[in-house]
Amino acid sequence: MLAIDELIARFVSGNVTESECIELEAWRKKAENEKIFSVYEASWNLTRKAKKTIPVDADEAWERFSEKDRQVLLIPAKKSDTVDKRRN
């Protein structure tokens, strides 16, 4: 027998056996348990929506990042930026 959280996870992911489904249905008959199940199910559904990603070209993104990094390193500081403000 699986822990209830594991059983719910198997159910919402579509990996539940028929006997596990029957076990879960019996557990869900209590109103308190149905509330718990609903929270798990809502969390699962939000997670599934969040997994939809935009394809990213990692090499191109790294090149853009590196290019910006090099630009920042090559910009000389202005003399006025390096002057100790306490003297003024």
Q: What is the DSSP string of 17-75?
A: -HHHHHHHHHHTTSHHHHHHHHHHHHHHHHHHHHT------HHHHHHHHHHHHHHHHHS
Q: According to the model, what pLDDT value does residue 35 have?
A: 95
End-to-end CA distance of the chain: 76
Q: According to the model, what pLDDT value does residue 22 have?
A: 94
| Maximum distance among all Cα pairs of the chain, rounded to whole angstroms | 80
Residue 80 banded pLDDT, cuts 50, 70, 90: low
Predicted confidence (pLDDT) at residue 1 exceeds the cutoff of 80: no
Q: Does this model's pTM top 0.85?
A: no
Predicted confidence (pLDDT) at residue 48 exceeds the cutoff of 80: no
Residue 68 banded pLDDT, cuts 50, 70, 90: low
